[in-house]
Amino acid sequence: MTDPLDSPQLKAMEPGRTAAAALPTDTAERPDFRAIFDLHFDYIWFTLRRFGVPERDLDDLAHDVFIQVYRHLDQYDATRPLRPWLFGFAYRIASDYRRLARHRRETLGEPCEGVDGAPSASDRVATRQKLDLVWTALEQLDLDRRAIFVLHDVEGHSIPEVASTLGIPLNTAYSRLRLAREQFAKSMQRLRSRQGER
């Protein structure tokens, strides 16, 4: 069984990953959709996962994202970074998904799917525990705040870029980021105290 800590989905969290490299496209032509799909599918899958989409629906929703990307490819401005543009599609798809009545009940206490239950070295256990804490704290953020937090604090995009990607005023983006950081810090503190950490 593949170690989940070495999975492409976890590696997609790293902003400096090769997928973030320049897209093979000529700015005068329509970007190469196949190249976008191949380079960024893992990133979109993991972004949807961070928005709380259950693993059973991740592949379907990731494909829905790329259907929207394909339909709007002519609107992509090749002078701007691609990932925030893709993130906007993932955000809207995840938001629509969560609005459906059958998905309104969140199961925050549910263990992360796909985790290898086999015994591992102590450093892998510690890493897994820290990741689980981060996942749980992240899942407790409202979707709007989570989007800002992930784009800015995890992926390193500027707040003006984040505001543009999500179509919100700059001051709203700053406010949501501040609230997201406060909520995330409180959640982490609460989760650590439950585990007996200081």
For the chain, domain boundaries: 7-107, 120-198
Considering only CA atoms, which of 138, 116, 123 is closest in space to residue 188? 138
Which residues of the chain fall short of a pLDDT of 70? 1-30, 101-127, 129, 196-198
Please tell me the predicted confidence (pLDDT) of residue 11: 46
- What is the CATH topology of the domain spanning 7-107? Rna Polymerase Sigma Factor; Chain: A (1.10.1740)
Please tell me the predicted confidence (pLDDT) of residue 70: 93
How many Å apart are CA 162 and CA 173, to the nearest integer?
7
CA distances from 45 to 49, 65, 121, 180 (A): 6, 9, 27, 22
- Structural contact between residues 139 and 108, judged by C-beta atoms closer than 8 angstroms: yes
- Domain 120-198 -> CATH class: mainly alpha
